[in-house]
Structure 1
Amino acid sequence: MSGKGIYYFMWGYQDSYRKYIQILAQNVLKSLGAPAEAEVLLVGSRSPDSNNRNPVCVEPEDGKWQLSLFKGLLDAVESNYQNHEMQSMCYGDEQSMRDKPEWIRRDSVRKSVEQALEVYDVENSVTSFCGEVRRIRDFYVTPIIQIPNTIFNQFPPLPMKPVVTGQQKSGYRSLIHAAMHAVLHEATEELQTPDPGRNTFYSMRGAEEVIRIAARDFMYTPGLAIEKQYMHSDLFASLNLISSLMYEGTKGIGQLILVDPDNDAVEFLVKFDEPIPFREPRWVRKILQMATTGVSIIASSKYIYGLGQLKESYDSNSQNSFTVIFIDHYHWELRCGEQALLRSHYAEPKLPQKPFDKMAFLANYTRLFPLSTREDGANLWDLLLIQVRQEYGSMIVVAEDAENEARRLSKQGTRIKPTRLTEQLFRSVSCIDGTILLDPAGYCHAIGIILDGEATDQCIPSRGSRYNSGVRYVQNDGPRRLVIVVSDDRTVDIIPRIRKLVSRSTIEKYIATFEAATLNNYHDSRNWLDKHRFYINAKQCDLINRTIDRINALPKDDYAIHLHTEPFEVHPEMNESYLTE
C-alpha cells in the first residue's frame, strides 16, 4: 500500500481495487477491437447507521470527479428508498423478507448515483455504467465505468427501446454494453471478498473470459426480442458449433434469420412439418447447406422452422429480427438490419468494424498522392470495401509510376491499356492470382502482376506471400506507392500503414490534465500522451516535458514505484493533416 493519506477513506485497498477494475475494462475494450479508453471511479454513500465524517466518498479523491457532483446524494438515496417499487413486494420465504431492506438500499444507492452522473455524462460526452452496490464498512460502494461516446460513434449500439423491467430483461444494446456489465459483475464479486483489491489479480477473471461471457449474454438479446422471455439456450455456443462443422467437405456459407416464425414479415419458401432444434447442430448444418443467395434459414433462438426471407416492407427498426451471416468456416456475424453487432471467428468474439476509418484513409491518400483528387481517394475506398467483402484474397497496388511499372513488369503479368477500375471490372480481374496495378487516379495499368523487391526487416515470416511481397515492393526507395492486401483469412493490411486522425481538443484536454496532475494521479494522462506521441507539436512537447520534470522532482516514498517517461520530441512526419477539430 502507498504511504499517502486518503481523506475520503472507505477501506484500505480502494485505490488498488479501482485500478484493477479499470485495467480489466480497458483490456476488454482492447480485445474487442475498440479503443481502450475506459475510466473507473468509486462512489461511497454513507450508511444510515454510520457516524463517519464523510457523507460521500469518491475514489480517486483528487481526480476529475469532484465531490460536488454528488451533492445531496444521501437525500436522493432516502427518497428512492422510501418510494422503491420493491417496498410493496412480498416474498414467500422469511429469509428474503429479511434481506429485502438491504436489497432496496443497495438499488436505491445505485439509482441515485446514476441520476447524479446524468449531467456529467452529457457535459463530458461519456457514458457511465454503474455496477451493483455492496456495503464495505461505513459505505455503500458503487463501482462505475465511464467510456467516451466517441467509442459508440465508432461502434453504434442498437437504438434505445422503451423498457419496463430493466435493460438485462430486454437484452443489451451492444456487445460493449454487455461487456461493461460483465466487467462490473466481476467488480461486484470482488466487493464481496474480505479486502477488495488486496488479491484482485488472482481472484478476477481475465479479459478473454469476460468477453466470452459478454458474448454469451449479448446473444440472449435476439431471443428476448423475438420470444419476450429469457431463454436458457446458449445461442453463442450453438452458432459457433454450427459454423465449425463441414458438410461433405464444404464449409457453411449462408444466412440464418432469427425471428418469430409467426411474424407477418416472414415469407416462407419451405416450412418444416416439425421444427428442428438447435441442439441438433449437424442437422442444422445440413439445413444451412440449402441456404443459398436470397434464401435464409428461418429460426427462433431454439428451433429451425424452414427456409425463407423477410419481405421488402420489413422495418429493421422494430428490432424483432436479427440475421446471422455465416461468412466462412468457423466465422459468422450477427446483424440487425444493416447494422453489424458481433463477429465471431474461431469462437473469439469481436466488434464488427470497417477495416479502416474512411476519413483517415482519404486524408492519408491525399497526403501520399498530392496530385490526386478527393474523388480518386473515395473511389479507391469503395473498391477497398468491395475487396474486403469478397470470399477470396486479393491485392491492389497504387503507384505514382504505374505506367512505367506496368511496362517493367510486363513479363510478370498482363499489361492493359489504362482503364478506369470500376466495381464490375474489379470483380472480374481480382479473381486471378497476382496484383492489380493502378495509378493514383484509379486507372488500371496491369493485372495479375507478380511484384518484386528485396526482403526487409518489415517482412513477417508468419504472414502470407501477398503481405510480404507488398511490404517489399513499397519499401523500395523511389516513387510513392500504396498496397492494399486482403488475405484469405479476411485480414486487411494497408502499406504504408494508415495513422488514425486525432482530435486537437482531445490532445489539449489530456495535456491540461497532465499539467495539473500530482504524483498520485498523473498515470492515466501520461499513458495516453505516451501512446499518441506522433501527434504532439513542438509547443505541446515543451509543456509535457516541463510537467515530466516537475513530477520527477516531487518527493517520493522510499518504496514507491515510479515509471520513467522519455522526453517528448516532434515526429518528423507529423503535420496538421493528422488532426481533426
Structure 2
Amino acid sequence: MEQQNNYRIHEDIEKLHKKTFIVLDLEEHFSDELQDNPFFVEFISEWQKSWFFSNYDEIGRRAAELCDNDLNLIINDVHIISSTTYENNDCHGCLLVGYEEPDIKFEEEIDIKEHKRVRKLLETTGKNLILLVNTRGKVRGYKYMENIKGIVGTIFIKFNGWFSWSCEVDGLHIFDFEKMCAKFPYNTDDGVSINKLKMAIEKYSSLEKETISEEIINSLTSIVKSVSKQKSGALLVILDEDFAKKEISRLRYSSTIISPQSINSSTIHDLSSIDGAVILDIKGNCHAFGTILDGIESKGDASRGLVLGNASLSSSNYPYASPA
C-alpha cells in the first residue's frame, strides 16, 4: 500500500507543481542577515529528518540544542532556571556565556546547576549587570552591561518570564523560547512576502491564462500580512480553485471544512491560530482550516497537533510547502 501511495505521489508531482499556487515560505519572514542563522539551519535539518514523528516544539528544542556547542552544554539548565521563581516572581535577567573575565569576580565559582541560587543572582541583573558564565557552566561573577558591546565568542541569554528566554550568539539574535516553544526572530517587514505573493500570482496568471483582479490580489495580500503575524507560526495554502476542492475532499477526515466563502483577513488570522493549514483558493475563498495535510487519504484525527512540515505535504504533494 505504501509503495502504491508513493508511486501515485511521484506520478502526480508535475501536475501538483502547476496546481499548487503558493504556500507561505518560512524563509520569507526573515531578513537576509538571518538566512544563515544557525538555529534556522539546524531547524530545517531536524525538520527533514523528523517531521513524520516529531512536532514543532520537539524539533525546535532539538535545533536550539544543536546550533551552538557551548549552548548545548547548558541549555537544559537554562530551561530549568527560566521556570524557577524568586519570591513568587517569574524569571527575568541576563546571562553571558563566554571566556570573558568578570568585572566583579566571585571568590568561588557557582555551578549553573545550582538553579535556585543562579535564579536568585539573576534578580540583580538586567539593567547594569549581567551574570557571567564560562563554557564549563561555572558562574564566575558579573560583567557591566556597558562593557559587553562588540565582544565576540559569546552567547547572550535574556530571561523574559516563565520558560521564556531569548538567545543571541555574537550579537546575532538566533531564536526565542516562549513557554518552551522555540520561535524564530521574525522580520517585521512584510515586503518580501508580499512581493513573493505577487510574483506567484503573475506566474499563475501567465500559465493559466487567467486574470486575477486587483481586488482579489489586495485581499490575498491582506490575508498574508495578517497570518504572518501569528506568534506560533501558521500554514497558509493557496490552490487552484478546482484542485482546492479535490484536496479538501481527500483530506476531509483531518480538516474542519467550511462552505467555500470569502473571509476577511482578521478572521483568517483567528482560524490560523490552531494547528493545521488554512486552505484558500486562488479567488480568496476559504475552504478549510486546521487541516493536517498527511499527503495520503486516510481516516485521520483533526484534533491532533500539526506535525512540522505537515507530513507528506512538504516532501511530496506540495514541493514548495513549509510553515509560515
TM-score (norm: length of structure 2):
0.54
1:181 is matched with which residue? 45
Where structure 1 has 5 or more consecutive residues not aligned to the other structure, the ranges are 3-10, 19-41, 43-57, 66-145, 159-172, 188-199, 225-230, 361-499, 517-530, 537-546, 572-581
**Counterpart pick for 1:307 among 134, 139, 142:** 142
| CA-CA distance at 1:325 after TM superposition | 0.9
Q: Does 1:215 align with 2:90?
A: no
Give, in whole Å, the separation in 2 of the partners of 1:339 and 1:331. 18
> Per the alignment, in what secondary structure is the counterpart of residue 250 of structure 2?
coil
1:284 is matched with which residue? 118
Q: Does 1:561 align with 2:250?
A: yes
Q: Does 1:260 align with 2:260?
A: no
> Per the alignment, in what secondary structure is the counterpart of residue 60 of structure 2?
helix
Q: Alpha carbons of 1:331 and 1:570: their partners in 2 closer, same or farther (altered >3 Å)?
A: closer
Q: Alpha carbons of 1:511 and 1:306: their partners in 2 closer, same or farther (altered >3 Å)?
A: farther
Q: Alpha carbons of 1:336 and 1:277: their partners in 2 closer, same or farther (altered >3 Å)?
A: same
2:185 is matched with which residue? 352
Give the aligned residue type for 2:150.
Answer: D
**Counterpart pick for 1:334 among 167, 172, 192:** 167
Q: Does 1:150 align with 2:103?
A: no
Q: Alpha carbons of 1:155 and 1:272: their partners in 2 closer, same or farther (altered >3 Å)?
A: same
Give, in whole Å, the separation in 1 of the partners of 2:12 and 2:156. 43
| CA-CA distance at 1:292 after TM superposition | 4.4
Which residues of 2 match residues 478-493 of structure 1 at below 5 A? Answer: none
1:275 is matched with which residue? 109
Q: Alpha carbons of 1:347 and 1:548: their partners in 2 closer, same or farther (altered >3 Å)?
A: closer
1:330–1:346 Cα contact (<8 Å) kept: yes
- Give percent identity, aligned residues only: 17
Higher relative contact order (CA 8 A, sep 6+): 2
2:30–2:185 Cα contact (<8 Å) kept: no
2:43–2:63 Cα contact (<8 Å) kept: yes
Structure 1 vs Structure 2 CA RMSD: 4.5
Give, in whole Å, the separation in 2 of the partners of 1:15 and 1:176. 31
2:96–2:133 Cα contact (<8 Å) kept: yes
Q: Who wins on radius of gyration, i.e. which is larger? A: 1
CA distances 1:504-533 after superposition (whole Å, capped 9, x unpaired): 2132235556x39xxxxxxxxxxxxxx988
1:297 is matched with which residue? 131
Give the aligned residue type for 1:237.
Answer: N
Q: Aligned residues, how many?
A: 228
2:200 is matched with which residue? 506
> Per the alignment, in what secondary structure is the counterpart of residue 127 of structure 2?
coil
| CA-CA distance at 1:272 after TM superposition | 2.3
Give the aligned residue type for 1:150.
Answer: E
Give, in whole Å, the separation in 2 of the partners of 1:350 and 1:149. 13
1:251–1:329 Cα contact (<8 Å) kept: yes
1:535 is matched with which residue? 220
Q: Alpha carbons of 1:185 and 1:343: their partners in 2 closer, same or farther (altered >3 Å)?
A: same
| CA-CA distance at 1:60 after TM superposition | 3.3
Q: Alpha carbons of 1:562 and 1:275: their partners in 2 closer, same or farther (altered >3 Å)?
A: closer
1:15–1:60 Cα contact (<8 Å) kept: no
| CA-CA distance at 1:245 after TM superposition | 1.3
TM-score (norm: length of structure 1):
0.33
Q: Alpha carbons of 1:282 and 1:506: their partners in 2 closer, same or farther (altered >3 Å)?
A: same
1:222–1:322 Cα contact (<8 Å) kept: no
Give, in whole Å, the separation in 2 of the partners of 1:568 and 1:512. 25
